[in-house]
Structure 1
């Protein structure tokens, strides 16, 4: 067992899901780790709480968290593919370096816990923050069960993101992982350095556990729910991805200052620059996750409000 990677673990008396809270997949996003620590401190004040299943808190990229950088050699949340996982599983662990070692150890920990608890299902909540300020939102995996779970978080939902991005935790874990049915949702809790990002993450952990049937409203109050509702009231309930602007090393990408999540943009608006010149919005929409940090492979995303 990798004690440094485990933030906390709690098992109830009743059989139920394995609910994994994952944070720090990017090392410059510590709010999720702080949120998981806070949640387990709060949970310890309810020693007799009726709890179904197991909740496990894990840190993602230990080396990057220590360095305070998004990643060391490669973005961990863009390399979780069957091909890479298959290759690193055949290499001795002491021969692996950087994110390849982090990925191997993380997946080993999940497999170890699945063998230990033999849950009815696996649920993954992957907590992140953004370099830009503005809105909060969830990104469910593409299976309908994950999308239904995201509705219970009480935050805006962005559809199509996990389908567009290769190598994320969502696309690898759901809808099935190691023979267990899996629901997976990522939560973007706010700006990296915003203290409320931690509290909003705690609120989503609690909402997720309630939706999974691990705890009930009566047994575990959610004192930070209002922080989610305050943000959600000003944002579209469901959005869908229109396009993403990729960034490669050496592009010289520089976002124009001042953009916030869900800020409307016009077609042709000057959003950023790189070595080739101005980068204009290809369509009208709302901007998400404009890149205001040196590391990252996506300059910005454009979404539009979803209407059935």
Structure 2
């Protein structure tokens, strides 16, 4: 097939159908009629020799061949768009852009207070929304541009994405000040004998610590299991429970909740925290500005 035989507008229709799955939505997005969408799809079917999309109760479902074409066509269109708009500048002082970042609750606790303070000074019109890594189809949302960046330990975020290391998490034991274990060090025996609260944080890498303890034969007296870190400070302040948490979380919670922490006596692997973005937005000025700000502010 020769490139001169391919109408770029057909590829735009193809790309939007992959995202929207309905011809009416594609027509609205591209500013053309619904028959125009159907005509473009028919031309592309004839050109490529495949049905590409099949009508189902869930909308227009891509064929295996269409799925095979999806990423390279999306990347090619993104490259063309970036090239044509590379002179566009992002001015944080005047921008009203709304960014969405996927992160866990511990990411919110560690990152958002500092980031919000920075934005008030250097980008007063910029707003930030967060979503949980585990509550959305992160790959699709980032490819579509509905989520700009993701922060965390996300091992399956590879093809089509770029990443940059921000920091590593090491683990400590966190408890209230005046606790019997509040003496600067903690033995493995004392750790096992203590009463524990365990955080099962979906979409994060913290489950690795629990798995490591199980493999090492560490048996804890677990009295409470919670699905997130938000309540941990309140719980520890009011009880004699102990929590094994990332050190940066402990740094944020210790003073406000009257807590102390010591190194965890059980060897646990460090968790790498990376910043992710889709290759489509590698050269987007606003996306680039925000990820550079996060890296410069929080990287080790």
Taking structure 1 as the reference length, the TM-score comes to 0.24
Q: Which structure's relative contact order is higher, taking Cα pairs within 8 Å and 6+ residues apart?
A: 2
Kindly indicate which of the two structures has a greater share of residues assigned to helix. 2
